[in-house]
Amino acid sequence: MASTSADVDLQRVLAEIKAGGSEGITDDVIQQKIPDLTVEKRLQIFNKLIAQGLLDIFHKGETLLYKVKDPVINEKLKDSDNEEKVVYKIIEEAGNKGIWMRDIRFKSNLMPTQLNKILKQLETKKIIKAVKSVAASKKKVYMLYDLEPDRSLTGGTWYQDQDFEVEFVDVLNQQCYRFLQLKKEKTANNQNGPQVAQRLACATPKEVRKFITDLGISKVELSEEDIRTILETLLFDGKIEQINNIDGSVMYRAVTPYIAVAGISTSPCGVCPVFKNCSFQSTVNPSKCDYLTDWLKQNPDSGF
C-alpha cells in the first residue's frame, strides 16, 4: 500500500524529533528543518504522534520540547494508570539531578500513601531509581533508572557511597605538590635567568593530571577539573601560586610558604578530638597512640 503525503510528513517530523535525542527538540527547529510544513500540519502530526503514544512533550524553562518516547518505557508503562504516568512524567522532567518526594507530591497533588505506592511500583519495574544525595544523606531523590546521577548528588570523584574520601584526597594533594616541587627544583639553576626558571617551573592542570595518571594511584579516571580542585586546596594553603596567562589559561607553580607549617598541625594530634585529655598519666596516652606512632614512622624529621 502506497504511503500518503500525510504519512510521509509524519515520518519526516518523527525523524527530526528522534535526531533531537534525549534533550528533545523545539517546534522552531522542526520548522527550520522542514520549512514546507505549515503550523497547522505540524500540530496535526504532533497530536497524532501523542495519540499513538510515540511522543513526549515537556518544558525546559519557558521552552516547549518534543521527544520520542522510549519503546521499552512505553511497554513498562502499558498497564499503568494515569497517576503512575503523571509521576513518571514529573520525574522524567527532573533529569539527572532528580527530584525530592516532597516536590513530586506538590506537583502531582497525590496523597503521601498513594505516592509511596506508585514510587515503589515504578522502582520495581526499574523505570525509576532512588539516589541518596551527599547534601542530605537521609533524603532520597528520584530519577529515571538509566540516568547517571549529577555530580551535585554523588559528590563526584571525592565521594564513595556518600562518604568523603579523606585519605584519597590527601594522597592526591601530596603528589600534586610533589610534582610542582620537583619541577621547581629542576629549573632552579637554569642559566637563562630567574624569570625563565620561574616560567619553566609552571605546570598546567593537564600536565599535573598526566603525572597523577602515570603514577596509577587513582582507581577512577580523574578529569582536569578534579586536578584543578586539588590544586586550589594547595593554593589556599599557600604552597603554590596561580599564574594567569594572557590567553585565559591558568598555570601553577610551587612556592616557599611565608609561614612554616607547624608539625603539630600536620600530625594526628592537630585534629584529635580528645587532644585536651591526652597526657602520659591519662588513659589517652601519646605513647600508646597508634595514629601518632604510624605518623612518626612516616615523618621522622617532624621535630617531635
The CATH topology of domain 1-69 is Arc Repressor Mutant, subunit A (1.10.10)
Q: Tell me which residue has cell 611565608.
A: 258
Give which of 215, 214, 213, 189 is closest to 201, Cα–Cα: 189
User: What is the CATH code for 162-254?
Assistant: 1.10.10.10
* Domain 70-154 class in CATH: mainly alpha
Distance (Å, whole) CA 87 – CA 122: 9
The pLDDT value recorded for residue 265 is 45
The pLDDT value recorded for residue 113 is 92
Q: Which residues of the chain have pLDDT under 70?
A: 1-3, 60-61, 71-75, 134-137, 152, 155-156, 158-164, 190-194, 257-277, 283-284, 291, 295, 299-304
The pLDDT value recorded for residue 18 is 84
Domain ranges of the chain: 1-69, 70-154, 162-254, 265-298
Q: What angle do CA 255, 259, 263 make, to 5 degrees?
A: 105
Q: What angle do CA 266, 271, 276 make, to 5 degrees?
A: 120
C-alpha cell at 213: 595518571
Interhelix angle 82-94/101-108, nearest 10 degrees: 130
The pLDDT value recorded for residue 119 is 92
Distance (Å, whole) CA 304 – CA 291: 14
Distance (Å, whole) CA 151 – CA 174: 24
Q: pLDDT tens across 30-67, in order?
A: 889 888 988 888 888 888 887 777 777 777 667 788 88
Helix (H, G, I), strand (E, B) or coil at 221: coil
pTM: 0.47
The pLDDT value recorded for residue 1 is 45
Q: pLDDT tens across 8-25, in order?
A: 888 888 888 888 877 788
Q: What angle do CA 95, 98, 104 make, to 5 degrees?
A: 105
Give which of 37, 250, 153, 1 is closest to 15, Cα–Cα: 37
Q: What share of the chain is helix, strand, coil (3-state, %, to 5)?
A: 55, 15, 30
- List all residues 6 or more positions away from 271 whose beta carbon is below 8 Å from its beta carbon: none
Distance (Å, whole) CA 205 – CA 192: 25
Structural contact between residues 153 and 139, judged by C-beta atoms closer than 8 angstroms: no
